[in-house]
Amino acid sequence: MGIEVVVEGLTKSFGKQSIWRDVSLTLPAGEVSVMLGPSGTGKTVFLKSLIGLLKPEQGRVLINGVDMVNSPERDIYETRKLFGLMFQDGALFGSMSLFDNIAFPLREHTRKKESEIRRIVMERIEVVGLLGAEGKLPGEISGGMRKRAGLARALVLDPQIILCDEPDSGLDPVRTAYISQLLIDLNAQLDATMLIVTHNLDIAATVPDNMGMLFLRELVTFGPREVLLTSDEPVVSQFLGGRREGPIGMSEEKDAATLAAEADAASASVPAAPRVIVPQLEPSPGLPPRQAVARRRKRVMGMIDTLPPAARSAIRDTYAKSAEAATLPMPAAGSGA
């Protein structure tokens, strides 16, 4: 099973530029979480801080008792081996075949024989649907294939924590839907803790168990997906609605006068449509169910009284529907259902 990641009071700046302050959250073991946020809010910096590649000035990131901020470098290096990382552009070596790219961490970090490396690499290549392309160079394949190769490489060391930085960037909506399904399938197969950074609203709506959002140097919220999806925080509604009206501006947050003018204009216009919570993706047929589902249900029901009323009723609704679905008779074989 994946490992819990506990973030406490994390604060990061570069010189005088504050990136975010006092970020605290827990990535529950084996669950899928998504971090949203407008461009430049420090999502990638957050991922790099979790693995100890960047050093926040304050706070802790606890993984199996090791603090990725303050522990000795040797412990941080060892703990980093628990992670699989998928960067925005796949971060592949241009002069190496996909096979060699994916084999790279095994050749660097283990003493496995070439025959064993071949077995693992081909297994991962199959999982991400790239069988037949292993001999190609990164420059000879599409952006979507490069992403999947990056994901295969993130998986070769059997990670218990997987971090994906914008797995959708540069992909069309169909390829993004495939990536979403792949992420859920991986979670069903590996039961790893996953954190996905994205701007993509389809991934956000269908993939995670938990969601958070960074804005204006703070963590606006983090918790069960229903909390963010029903939130009426202006920044959350603006982001989820993909609207210009709201606190997020083109490059910076908007000033008070602009916001007041927008509020006046909005009160005279048609109200925004209520948000609908779409069901989370299920693993593909033939795969095991996600073990995280039962754990998450127990965890969320244990904290339900602490959640806002809209999230509470959305969670109860979701679980009532899944109970209903579980009691429905299975469609007869060959019924075409």
Ligand X SMILES: Nc1ncnc2c1ncn2[C@@H]1O[C@H](COP(=O)(O)OP(=O)(O)OP(=O)(O)O)[C@@H](O)[C@H]1O
In the complex, which residues of this chain contact ligand X (CB under 6 A)? 14, 19, 37, 39-45
Q: How far apart are CA 326 and CA 184, in angstroms?
A: 20
Shortest distance (Å) from residue 212 CB to ligand X: 12
Contact 149, 105 (CB under 8 A): no
Comparing CB distances to ligand X, the nearer of 168 and 245 is 168
Q: How far apart are CA 196 and CA 68, in angstroms?
A: 19
Comparing CB distances to ligand X, the nearer of 4 and 89 is 89
Comparing CB distances to ligand X, the nearer of 158 and 252 is 252
**What Rg, from alpha-carbon coordinates, does the chain have?**
21
Shortest distance (Å) from residue 93 CB to ligand X: 22
Contact 61, 68 (CB under 8 A): yes
Shortest distance (Å) from residue 314 CB to ligand X: 27
Q: How far apart are CA 71 and CA 275, in angstroms?
A: 43
Contacts of 298 (CB under 8 A, 6+ apart): none
DSSP-based three-state secondary structure for 298:
helix
CA angle (304, 219, 63) in 5-degree steps: 80
Shortest distance (Å) from residue 150 CB to ligand X: 16
Comparing CB distances to ligand X, the nearer of 17 and 335 is 17
For tokens 């039961």, what's the residue?
A: 191
75-1-194-132 Cα dihedral, nearest 10 degrees: 100
Comparing CB distances to ligand X, the nearer of 12 and 80 is 12
Shortest distance (Å) from residue 14 CB to ligand X: 4
Among 224, 157, 221, 148, residue whose Cα is nearest residue 179: 148
Comparing CB distances to ligand X, the nearer of 26 and 88 is 88
Shortest distance (Å) from residue 170 CB to ligand X: 12
DSSP-based three-state secondary structure for 202:
helix
Reported as type and span, the H/E element at residue 22 is strand 17-27
Comparing CB distances to ligand X, the nearer of 14 and 77 is 14
In sequence order, the β-bridge partners of residue 85 are 163
Shortest distance (Å) from residue 120 CB to ligand X: 31
